[in-house]
Amino acid sequence: MENIVSSALVQDGARNDILHYQENGQKRLQEFIQDRLLSSSELSVWDPMKKLKLKTFLNWMEKTKIRVGDTVIKLREDGRESEMLSNLIINIARLFVM
């Protein structure tokens, strides 16, 4: 699976979350009903819940900050071209800083 816009390959964890979001949501709904809405439930509707933190195309990439002189460059790494891209950006930034 790859992102249509960036052509970056999606990691397995994010891929599974994207493909199975509906099943995960239905499972959480059933848990909510069992734990909070039935008369035999011990938890209240207003008790805090843990988020279902699904990875998506937006948040599966690692974020990296590179400092060149006084400038901080933020990168999102996709695992394939990140090292080459960061080297290119550092070299270009050095040209402008020096």
Q: Do 42 and 20 belong together in one domain?
A: yes
CA nearest to 17, candidates 59, 63, 62, 76: 59
Q: Do 48 and 66 belong together in one domain?
A: no
* Domain boundaries, position 73: 61-98
Q: Do 24 and 45 belong together in one domain?
A: yes
Q: Residue 51 corresponds to which amino acid?
A: K
pLDDT-based confidence at 84, cuts 50/70/90?
Answer: low
Evaluate whether 35 touches 41 at the Cβ level (below 8 Å).
yes
Task: Name which residue leads in pLDDT, 79 or 94.
Answer: 94
pLDDT of 79 reads 55
Structural domains counted in the chain: 2
CA nearest to 79, candidates 63, 93, 58: 63
Q: Do 56 and 72 belong together in one domain?
A: no
- CA–CA distance, 86 with 65 (Å, rounded to integer): 10
Q: Do 66 and 94 belong together in one domain?
A: yes
pLDDT of 81 reads 55
Q: Residue 3 corresponds to which amino acid?
A: N
Q: Do 26 and 3 belong together in one domain?
A: yes
Q: Quick: pLDDT tens for 20-76.
A: 999 999 999 999 999 999 989 889 999 998 988 887 766 556 667 777 778 777 766
